[in-house]
Amino acid sequence: MYFCIFDLLQIVLENKEKVHQRSCPLYDAVERGNLEVVKLLLANGAELYSKQLDYKDKAGKKHRKELAHVATLACMGNRNDKDRRQVLKELVRAGANLNAVAARSRNPLHLSVNGSTDDANEALDLEVALLRGGCRVAALDKRGRLPLHYAFVKVGRHRDSGRADPIEVVSLLVEAMEEGPTEGASVDQEDEFGARPLHYAAYRGATVSCLLLLQKGADINAVDKKGNTPLAYAVMGEHEGCALVLLQKGASVNVSVHPADMVDGKKPVKYRCLQGHFDQKDTRRPYSLFQGIINNDWSGVAHVALRQFESFGLTFARAVEVAFHMQKVPFAKNLLGKQVSNKKLRDRVTNDRDLLACFAYECKKGSYK
């Protein structure tokens, strides 16, 4: 059947029948990854742009349907299909613009990286072809994001905090940014939320990617517009290993966690706070980093970070009081069981209570079972 249709197409072209834009055969062939038909159409003068395929976004703004985007999406549908990648190369050879932008000002590289995963066996031939074809690795979309941002935060799934560490695609993009023109962009590029690739990497628990970004100059204590650092993102995403690495690399603990709608996909949690800290009725107010660590039951992180917390005024006894106040008695018990300093155990807390009185005052019945 395929050969019959192909022969028919050849006969039409040999008889110099015009390839009508209305039927958009080139777009159809590109979408299907039909390499031979694409070559035949291009050889016979098929146009690279069809005005009738222009579309409007939700805001009513009109956009061109670019062949480079169509070819990229086709490749993403089957990353191991060599014909689809060759179709993209044929289009570039014919003059297709790899830096044309679609809705939200995204170029083909934004699309391909957004569709990538952290599977080590996933082919990156599409991204390599786009980069070799001149697609700008430093292009910013409407949200001010590089393709690098989309290695971690995905269109339509920006609240996804599931662990993913796409080190292969991240290293490819970072190296491309080092080799080519960056037009002022860097691995520390802020998006419209003030978040940088390192923020999103921490939110996805991408420990190895975080290390690479730090090696390439990312600021470990950069804050977004909410006031969150990458360490705060790791706490919100509940990635203990990533938080530990950030702490070991020098992340400051003197920060608060500011729940943000664009990353916090869970229902707001009502954090009980020490008296006078915050208004408990407002569940979207910031909470301390230590409260986030306790809420995640990260006793290991707490032990690593306690010395740093002490340098900012949070004594060991106050840390235990916070755990009691949050009804995290097993957590407090773990801290107490590993403390050998009698002086720290005898320190006073709120209203000059010792830790035994604090336990009796703060803990509700059943919280210590």
Task: Domains for the chain: give ranges and CATH numbers.
Answer: 1-136 (1.25.40.20), 138-259 (1.25.40.20), 267-369 (no CATH)
d(CA 302, CA 323) in angstroms, rounded, equals 11
* Predicted confidence (pLDDT) at residue 4 exceeds the cutoff of 60: no
pLDDT at 56 over 70: no
Residue 72 is predicted with a pLDDT of 93
Does the structure show a pLDDT above 80 at 284?
A: no
- Output the average pLDDT for the chain: 85
| CB neighbour class for 2 (10 Å; exposed up to 12, middle 13-18, buried from 19) | exposed
Residue 5 has pLDDT above 50, yes or no: yes
Between 66 and 204, the higher pLDDT residue? 204
Give the model confidence (pLDDT) of 234-255 as tens digits.
999 999 999 999 999 999 999 9
Asked whether residue 195 carries a pLDDT value surpassing 90, the answer given is: yes
For 256, the enclosing helix (H) or strand (E) is: strand 256-257
Q: What is the pLDDT of residue 12?
A: 52
Q: What is the pLDDT of residue 11?
A: 46
Collapse the DSSP code of 137 into the 3-class scheme (helix H, G, I; strand E, B; otherwise coil) and give the result: coil
Q: What angle do CA 291, 296, 297 make, to 5 degrees?
A: 95
- Tell me, yes or no, if the pTM score tops 0.75: yes
pLDDT per position as a tens digit, 327-343? 999 999 999 998 889 99
Q: Report pLDDT digits (tens) over 137-169.
A: 999 999 999 999 999 999 989 889 999 999 999
87-108: average pLDDT? 89
| pLDDT higher at 271 or 190 | 190
Taking alpha carbons only, the member of 116, 121, 181 closest to residue 147 is 116
For residue 266, the model assigns a pLDDT of 44
Check whether 204 has a pLDDT greater than 50: yes
What local confidence, expressed as pLDDT, does residue 363 receive?
87
